[in-house]
């Protein structure tokens, strides 16, 4: 089974996707982390974020890999754990530019589809239900107010121990700008798939969002059982 969870930055996609994968014993694939890793590779190599050819070369040389360590998914570039580094404000500010590059998207989408073709997956991102897994049995589109998402981003920084000098209002401006970039890019823009179920998480707890999505997955599983 394929479960696609899309939505804008800090809508809660990764948090709920991880929990759902754990509860169902599915594999969780964080596509956003893959694009963040590409952005980090560009930064480390001193490559301009618009230089598609050089970024692709560096990504090919370094490699991006997911590993489960102590029941937690970690992201590796080469042999280095970069799970923290890819969440810094600088990477967040530039990942939209890198992820909009056609060659980068093609390479990452190919990797994502390879992973999804081998196992039951929960995959989150911005174009999973529309581009990466258009035939996913369950498609969810999470939304939330920009201010509530800025508060979540601020909390995430604190929990991860990431240094951040921005105010919530400044983070809200950044998130709104990223929403615009993601929804207006030419390649696989952020948009809700026609068959996706929209859930507004602004005033919901994580547990409530997880329960709502699990209910949709159970409905889909029952339909598949009847067909089978």
Each residue of 115-133: pLDDT tens digit?
888 888 999 999 999 999 9
The pLDDT of residue 42:
98
Q: How far apart are CA 9 and CA 4, in angstroms?
A: 15
Mean pLDDT, range 14-31, rounded to an integer: 92
How high is the pLDDT of residue 228? 65
Beta-bridge partners for 4: 123, 139
Tokens at 188, concatenated: 């696989």
Using DSSP bridges, classify how beta strands 27-30 and 2-6 pair: parallel, antiparallel or unpaired: unpaired
Q: Whole-angstrom Cα distance, residue 58 to residue 11?
A: 30
* Average pLDDT score over the chain: 93
What is the C-alpha separation between 20 and 96, in angstroms, rounded?
26
Residue 38 near residue 104, CB atoms below 8 Å: yes
Q: How confident is the model at residue 212 (pLDDT cuts 50, 70, 90)?
A: very high
Please state the φ and ψ torsions of residue 141, each to the nearest 5 degrees: -125, 110
Please report which confidence band the pLDDT of residue 35 belongs to, taking 50, 70 and 90 as the band edges.
very high
């Amino acid at each position: 089974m394929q479960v696609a969870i899309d939505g804008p930055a800090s809508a809660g996609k990764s948090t709920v996707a991880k929990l759902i994968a754990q509860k169902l014993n599915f594999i969780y694939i964080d596509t956003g982390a893959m694009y963040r890793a590409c952005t980090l590779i560009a930064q480390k190599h001193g490559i301009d974020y618009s230089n598609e050819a050089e970024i692709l070369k560096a990504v090919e040389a370094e490699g991006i890999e997911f590993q489960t360590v102590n029941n937690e998914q970690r992201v590796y570039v080469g042999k280095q754990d970069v799970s923290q580094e890819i969440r810094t404000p600088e990477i967040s500010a530039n990942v939209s530019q890198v992820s909009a590059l056609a060659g980068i998207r093609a390479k990452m989408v190919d990797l994502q589809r390879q992973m999804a073709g081998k196992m039951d997956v929960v995959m989150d991102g911005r174009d999973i239900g529309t581009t990466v897994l258009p035939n996913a049995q369950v498609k969810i589109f999470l939304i939330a107010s920009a201010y509530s998402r800025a508060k979540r981003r601020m909390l995430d920084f604190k929990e991860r121990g990431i240094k951040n000098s921005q105010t919530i209002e400044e983070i809200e401006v950044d998130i709104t700008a990223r929403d615009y970039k993601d929804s207006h890019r030419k390649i696989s823009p952020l948009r809700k798939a026609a068959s996706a179920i929209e859930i507004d998480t602004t005033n919901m707890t994580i547990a409530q969002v997880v329960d709502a999505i699990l209910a949709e997955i159970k409905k889909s599983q029952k339909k598949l059982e009847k067909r089978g």
